[in-house]
Amino acid sequence: MTSVLLPTRRWTPACEELLAQVGSDDELLFVCDAPDDPIATHPRLRAAIENGGDGADESGDDGEKASNNGDGNSDGGKNSDGDAGDASVRLLVAGEPTGCSGKANAIAHGLERAAPDQRRFVWTDADFAHAEGWLARLEALGERHGPVSGVPVFVSEGWAWRLFEPAGAVLGSLAIERADRVWGGCVTFTRGDVNLDALVGDLRRTVSDDGLLWEHLAAEYGGPGVTTTREFVSEVPVAGTPRAVANRAVRNNRIVYMTDPAGARRGLLGLVLFAGLSLLAPAVAAGLATLVAAATYRYLGVRRWTWLLAWPAFLLAPLGLAAGVLGREFRWGGRRYRWRSKFDVQVLSSES
């Protein structure tokens, strides 16, 4: 009995994949920002929701309820064409975020609206492929190990991101797997694993949903602990333009800095020392970086040629980490944020 939370404003192939995987005792919650988001009127979603027409929760910031079931509680939804069996399929409208990111706001809204009889949660994203059986395998691992998370590898055909991709795989993806961190695109846990009210409250005053969830689950903070497994390595396509890369560098590395400031500073020092090694012994540095990147790609099962760019990637990595330590503003999902400290977030502008 699982509540699958899928924050998205648009219909993607992942939506179709998850619709086909939810079981008869599960619910699939699509969470968007506004009633006029493209997904809210997508015919495939409308076809998947039956009770009371669309059964959607049209409540937003003003608290108005406009769902066809009349109470605004999003009680609709069994798949009408059989793809999701008897699973409940619902559309939730989170409204504009205030003092947090749109993603964190959507997750908090989904947690609040999830059916109370669902004992397990799965958080995921709509921007990567969910192979057949993905959900069942994740649930099974969760039953065996407790909270379980997968590993993202961010990839792009854009040249600007390619220059950072090998360093991201080693310093980001591999680090997540080895340190049992949480990735919000592939994580499962139960209601008994967290203080749900505290988690929802904290989500509504921060940027990083996964960084925050890790703090609520980690054994270091009194939680049950997390098992992060390379059985769930997902290649996540990202934009590769210089502007997109700059915003991602600030956001991702800011998350690292907010979660572990001392660790981020040590990482920055290590990268600067590597740059110094590159000046003194460039052949040694280039060979070492390439070897580490190649081994990481092999370990994670990533079949891309970009490991060959490892040396320039590691030379550029200090800039990205420094951006996370020093930078406070970035654009994400159509909004511009200023993130001063973990629970000090300002939404500067929104295109939604």
pLDDT in tens, 81-125: 435 546 699 999 999 999 999 999 999 999 999 999 999 999 999
Going by C-alpha positions, the residue among 109, 196, 101, 140 that lies closest to residue 21 is 140
Percent of the chain with pLDDT over 90: 79
Beta-carbon contacts of 137 under 8 Å, excluding residues fewer than 6 positions away, are 231, 232
The distance in angstroms from the start CA to the end CA of the chain is 33
Determine the pLDDT at residue 81.
40
pLDDT above 50: residue 76: no
146 Cβ partners below 8 Å, 6+ apart?
Answer: 189, 193, 224, 225, 226, 227
- One DSSP character per residue, 192-222 reads GGS-HHHHHHHHTT-S-HHHHHHHHH-GGGT
The mean pLDDT value of the chain amounts to 89
Model pTM above 0.85? yes
Per residue in 204-243, pLDDT (tens digit) is 999 999 999 999 999 888 889 999 999 999 999 999 999 9
Residue 62 is predicted with a pLDDT of 38
- Higher-pLDDT residue of 63 and 244 is 244
pLDDT for res 27: 95
For residue 60, name the pLDDT band (cuts at 50, 70, 90): very low
What distances in angstroms separate CA 79 from CA 16, 71, 85, 113, 258, one per listed residue?
A: 12, 21, 6, 19, 41
User: Within 10 Å of residue 256's Cβ, how many Cβ atoms?
Assistant: 22
Written as six digits, the tokens of 92 are: 């939730």
